[in-house]
Structure 1
Amino acid sequence: MENVEVSSMLQTVTGLINEKEAGTLLVHEHILVGFIEDGKLSPKDYDRDEVVAMILPLLLQLKEAGCSTFVDCAPEYLGRDPYLLKELAAKSGLHLVTNTGFYKAPYLPPFVYQATEQDLADLWIREARNGIGDSGVFPGYIKIALNDGTSINETQQKILRAAIRTSLETGLPIQCHTIGGDTALHAGEIMKQAGFDRERFIWVHAQTGKDLAVHQQLAADGMWISIDSILPGTYDKHVDLLQQLLAHGVSGDRILLSQDTGWYTVGEERGGNLRPYHHLLTDFLPYAAEKGLDEHWLQQCVTRNPYQAMRIRS
């Protein structure tokens, strides 16, 4: 990962790509999710062929809409399946990106609570260097979560610090499920104390922060502000939020757009309520431009910005 040829590229499930190859990029979506507690989800809990049959048409529809790269955000024990992603990448022609890292309670396996931050970092660094199991797939980033609330509990602080160690060792960025501005500020303080470059950190679900001064401060520190859940029925709300963020001085170069949608839900018949991936590109971006947001900037939020956020750093 430290090789100069790797630096500034994006790691997909089928290899490294550059910015031109990455093209239009959805930075936070889901293929498969299994909400099974205590890290007990396994491939035996779902039919991989059925998942492919249900998800592939949605990915082909997305590709036709102009997308080139899709970041799958299910971490291990919540639905990460490198073999499934490799098959879907081959059949769809999309670049798919997976991760290393863990989520939060109650979806953590018991060993996480006893492990040290170095123990966890060692696991993730090993995957970054050697690949995920015998799949031949390498993670393109680190996916973690912080507990919901005003401060970060001990377990999730340990996971965050392990992710920082992993990023420093491998160059991989961190995507972090973070609800609310207080939690994001606490994470920012931990990173500052660790001397960690906030440009390696993506605040996922930043639309949950209510005080836009927090977004402005953290973006100025280098953190990426990822606005997701941009789904049909929410467009006016999201246009208003983006206009307010820009008016509050949040740099447009730090903003990412995505949907946090999909997905095949383990345990539900035929995966449950699967939602398309293409609406952000085909519906929201044109609508937001009609409402006065700069069309070039909107495109930047799904091309250059996410590539810069997700690239490997030396």
Structure 2
Amino acid sequence: MIKDITYIHEHVTIDLSKEKNNIDCKLDTFDITKEEFLRLKELGVTRVVDVSNVGIGRDVDYVMKMEEATGLNIYMSTGYYKEPFLPKEVEELSVEELAKKMIDDIKIGIDGKTKCATLIGEIGTGFEIMTELEKKVFQAAAIAQKTTGVFITTHTSLGKLGHEQLDFLENLGVDLNKVILGHVALSGDLSYIKSLLKRGAYVEFDTIGKNNYLPDETRVDFIKTLCEEGWSEKLLMSVDLTRRSHLKTNGGIGYAYLIETFVPMLKEVGVKESDLKNMLVENPKRILGVE
């Protein structure tokens, strides 16, 4: 069994219910999540990265309570998501003021607590264009990244605008080796994924088990090919659960799906143990600065 696993892109709590007019999109089921996280611990998971940020239900007290209840190390994020989920302060504050809030989250602590943010993200873009407010968030994130040295993790909508995100950050002086691109597998385009990897960014297979977006068989084929071509040191995996209905108790796949179902699928097609360890253990530790 692989040990010391990190789930690099999750939501311990998230609230998109108002914008989506759906209470299912408010993930605040502490006791159910706790039980699922305890199962993750049994399966060799040590760390969970919570990429919920300002305006979408980030809750430092909730996360610290979950850490205490489960014994998992939960890392938190700073920044702002994407339209239409951006809070008023993105419009009202300057780029420099937004950057300072991110830097303070990273260097001082979140909401006056001792727990600091470890990543910037998930910051995102929509399907067709990068809006002016999204650009403002990316500008602030670039300042905060260059000041603190932490990684930026992004949201692409169904994999779109990956190169546009990288272009924007690169033009602002961000080292693309410090960028994680989220959801790009949902493009269904392996050549596109390779073109993003060639620019130095990490690529996240982070909606594993959500077969309505992309069949897991396709994810397995993509990961197998990329590992065979030597890319496993730039790949990451997570399930990215965001709804109450995603939890196993409520009939969903549950957080453990990655370890219990998907990893065996990768082993079955011949993905090497060393590549699995890169994706699940070594790459996340490098990103999080874990010795």
TM (norm. structure 1) is: 0.80
Which among 204, 208, 222 is matched to residue 226 of structure 1? Answer: 204
Which among 219, 226, 231 is matched to residue 238 of structure 1? Answer: 219
Q: CA deviation at 1:149?
A: 2.2
Which among 185, 195, 216 is matched to residue 163 of structure 2? Answer: 185
| AA of the residue aligned to 2:5 | T
Quote the Cα distance in structure 2 between the aligned partners of 1:212 and 1:273.
31
Is 2:7–2:47's contact at 8 Å kept on the other side of the alignment? yes
Find the counterpart in structure 1 of residue 236 from structure 2.
256
Q: CA deviation at 1:263?
A: 4.7
Q: CA deviation at 1:310?
A: 3.3
Quote the Cα distance in structure 1 between the aligned partners of 2:51 and 2:13.
9
State the superposition RMSD in angstroms: 2.5
Q: CA deviation at 1:75?
A: 1.1
| Aligned-partner SS, 1:287 | helix
Is 2:82–2:126's contact at 8 Å kept on the other side of the alignment? no
Q: CA deviation at 1:64?
A: 0.6
Q: CA deviation at 1:127?
A: 1.5
Quote the Cα distance in structure 2 between the aligned partners of 1:180 and 1:57.
30
| Aligned-partner SS, 2:221 | helix
| AA of the residue aligned to 1:191 | L
Find the counterpart in structure 1 of residue 32 from structure 2.
54
List alignment gaps of at least 5 residues for structure 2: 20-25
Q: CA deviation at 1:212?
A: 2.9
2:5 is the alignment partner of 1:24? yes
Percent identity at matched positions?
Answer: 24
List alignment gaps of at least 5 residues for structure 1: 1-21, 39-45, 266-270
Q: CA deviation at 1:232?
A: 7.3
Find the counterpart in structure 1 of residue 173 from structure 2.
195
TM (norm. structure 2) is: 0.86
Q: How does 1:83-122 map to 2 (within 5 A)?
A: 83-122=61-100
Which among 137, 143, 147 is matched to residue 165 of structure 1? Answer: 143
Runs of at least 4 residues off by over 4 Å: 262-265, 271-275
More divergent stretch after superposition (227-236 vs 64-73): 227-236
Quote the Cα distance in structure 2 between the aligned partners of 1:232 and 1:193.
33
Find the counterpart in structure 2 of residue 298 from structure 1.
276
- RCO comparison, higher one (Cα < 8 Å, 6+): 1
The structure where helix makes up a greater share of residues is 2
Quote the Cα distance in structure 2 between the aligned partners of 1:187 and 1:122.
21
Is 1:224–1:309's contact at 8 Å kept on the other side of the alignment? no
Find the counterpart in structure 2 of residue 5 from structure 1.
none
Find the counterpart in structure 1 of residue 22 from structure 2.
none
Quote the Cα distance in structure 2 between the aligned partners of 1:103 and 1:207.
19
Is 1:31–1:264's contact at 8 Å kept on the other side of the alignment? no
